[in-house]
Structure 1
Amino acid sequence: MSHTGKEGEWMKRITKIDKVEPLIPKKLRVAAYCRVSTGSDEQLASLEAQKSHYESFIKANPEWEFAGVYYDEGITGTKKEKRTQLLRLISDCEAHKVDFIVVKSISRFARNTTDCLELVRKLTDLGVFIYFEKENINTQSMESELMLSILSSLAESESVSISENSKWGVKRRFQNGTFKISYPPYGYDYVDGGMEINPEQAEIVKYIFAQVLSGIGTHQIADELNARKVPTKKGGKWTASTIRGMIYNEKYVGDVIFQKTYTDEHFSRHTNYGEKDQYLMQCHHEPIISREDFEAAGAVLNQRRLEKGITKGSGKYLNRYPFSGKIVCSECGGKFKWRIHSKNGGKYVAWCCGKHIDDVTACSMKFIRNADVEKAFVTMMNKLVYGRRFVLRPLLERLREMDRSDSFSMIQELELKMEKNAEQRQILTGLMAKGYLEPALFNKENNELLQEAAELELQKNGLSHSVNGEMVKTGEVEALLKFAEKGEMLTAFDGELFGRFVEQIIVYSRTEVGFQMKCGLTLRERM
């Protein structure tokens, strides 16, 4: 109603209300993730069954919209980085294409605690939650991550146990000579559980050995094969290191050395330099190269290596320069490689970005001279000697002033709580064994204590890591200051000194680099 302006008179006003359409709730876009750990026919059949199950399971829920099944096959589950479909699923979650994920179990999703919790937290921040069927856990309804942490730890223990059992079985096959090489080197194919010569590739292998025996360098051989467009085993480009690896590969004479590499407790692979037993099996398969040519070619490379002063062993094959493997491009993140450049009849060592060498459009960073980097290091160290009172001493004092006594006392307090927690669980178990506690009550109390124990462990590990990190950093600064306080200016580059204090070199341009010190400082220097 509204007033007309005249006292005592009112006029009625009627407004039409438009029709309100009922809100239709948006369906939840649900995807499933599944994985099998090997590429066998039985496992692939299992994968097909899982895919079919999840598609039917999701489509049967009227409130869900099927967003697809993501699956990885023939890939180990111990590290998330190697699972391309899992990474694609996460990318689709970030693009808001998926709202909810269904997984068979935690062990199918992640095999170590760090990866599992990291992925769950990342997806939770995106508003995407996960339902683990086997454990009946929905991350959306969980009050904390503690129970998931405990279950993830169990999955990690299961993974380690499976890995150890697998290693034991592999070792036994090494010892009795029944281990099958599923991915043979260039020149061979895997046929019916054995290695058979690939005639076309075998001719290339013979050509490579013949070239080495005639004195041709490995770089020149690689360039020649690339110019002829000869494909490698994986279809990539030939490199000098690939050629060297073939010359030293005993499989070309029909032998096999088992366990050249091994997997550590963190599921990372390493070259075996004697940490694990190795097993040699002779006459394992048909050879491509005679033993005489094989030994002669290896001797040629060894002689050339000795003449050039190259050290072969752990790390890079070329280890003549202290900067090897330590120079990083700020533009693309690639590692720098050394090259011999010529100018006005003279030669000098230069460092070039690996990506720029392969493709100038991928990275525009130009080369830098080895001598210039050495001079920059000398200048930087002399600046530290000169300005130690203004740079290093204040940094060391700040690190020492950080009161770590509180952290140590907190760690001790947490350890006492953990001991008390363990005692309480032991008492509970004793009462349950004597029949004084009902199973339901025991499970409730025991689960609460387990959650508390997991939380205490996480807090203790976090504090310990923080304290240890600061102690290492303090020690590095103390060592650097001790060197600087001698007051001796460098007159020439010192490779041992560089290796002691510098973690890596970051190249910002042809005229500026940054020395990333082991103590945490990054010091820029112009060249």
Structure 2
Amino acid sequence: MAEKNITVIPARKRVGSTAAKEKVKKLRVAAYCRVSTETEEQNSSYEVQVAHYTEFIKKNAEWEFAGIFADDGISGTNTKKREEFNRMIDGCMEGNIDLVITKSISRFARNTLDCLKYIRQLKDKNISVFFEKENINTMDAKGEVLLTIMASLAQQESQSLSQNVKLGLQYRYQQGKVQVNHNRFMGYTKDDEGNLIIVPEEAEIIKRIYREYLEGKSLAGIGRDLEKDDILTAAGKPRWRPETIKKILMNEKYIGDALLQKTFTVDFLTKKRVKNEGHVPQYYVENSHEAIIPKELFLQAQEELHRRNNIYTGADKNKRLYSSKYALSTITFCGDCGDIYRRVYWNIRGRKEFVWRCVTRIEQGPETCKNRTVKEGDLYDAVMTAINKLLAGGDNMMRTLEENIHAIIGDTTEYRISEINTLLEEKQKEIISLANNGKDFEFLSEEVDKLREERQRLLVEDASLSGENERINELIGFICRNKYRTLLYDDTLVRKLIQNVTVYEDHFVISFKSGIEIEV
């Protein structure tokens, strides 16, 4: 048997996606540059990097220039929004680049997972990345060990930067400085100093939304009418979603206040934000800017939102959906079981007509509720009879209404609200003092929460009284304008005047928003 003869063939150091397939005279080299902000100084750095790498690649005789990929003013914590970076990776995957040069790991990625993911992806294609500052070539044996350490440090740097940004925001919040994306916030814009100022034509849309909601229109109904009038949303879209209307009705900025830190970032890498439900402190700034909506009207809207979301009727307290299709929907109640009356199409023995029936009776049968079915014409007549009785009362009715106003004015909550505001101010000073001295202030949180809850309850109560006062004055004005007139049924009029209608076996009770009740 012949003796084995072994010849060693020396390895040829070679990188590049095509190196294993064919002999390539030059490496196709690309550079990646990134600056993280859009300041003038960083823009200069960006231009210097591009010029440096263009010259650096072209002067190397063994390299072929494969382009400069540069992202300007984009964060490095993830690669989703870095268009040039992603274009460069695509070029590598397509076999057009053999080597990537970049200034440092922190310029390439501040996220360890992203950094290693792309480097391994490129290594699979036999493409190396050279980090100039750290002098690391990813194709070296020690490259990935060093890279993991350096990438972790870069991630820590990004986390530290994120924490600094958070502290800066926290300071701004403590100073009561309001940050709003006014480009997508209807009703306001910013002046040269960054303060919120009212846009009059947009403010009229906000006022219209509040007015129509309190007059009984549904969120969807308000949206449809805005669309009919070709009014665009704050984002410039023609479609008004109910959620958009609801957010406007719940946004405290329309009364000149601002709740800061409604959301917070849970992951500095993904930039994911979630609703702040007590996870981090919030700051409520009163009178931070000019109001569009009076506070009383805003609180009435909150009360109405709560009422519509909590319509529980009938003996079993079933939840009913609010409907504004007809003025008497969800405000007409059964005097027997307490459930709402619903408008239905009746066809008995060829007789077709609209009637109103108790929902419990419709759903569970006459054995559960024996109250009557009401013809729509009879219900409308009863409502208008009550309104016309009110008009016929003339001066006597107005005297009664004026007495009601005096009773409301006498029952004020202003003193207690003022007292709570003083207490909250004292507690706030105490919290700031403790925080500045690095001491725990959690023990004050429960006390502050209770005071705020009481103040909110009193404010809602005060708004209800103010709203009732306003409704009485509206009714007085209505009587003055329409004395001795016999009015015909009108949905808009009913929405303005009627609080609810209760149907009994032999009569109706019509309750007005002013507090007056008339039996028909």
TM-score, normalization by structure 2: 0.49
The structure, 1 or 2, with the larger RCO (C-alpha pairs under 8 Å, 6+ apart) is 2
Normalised by the length of structure 1, the TM-score is 0.48
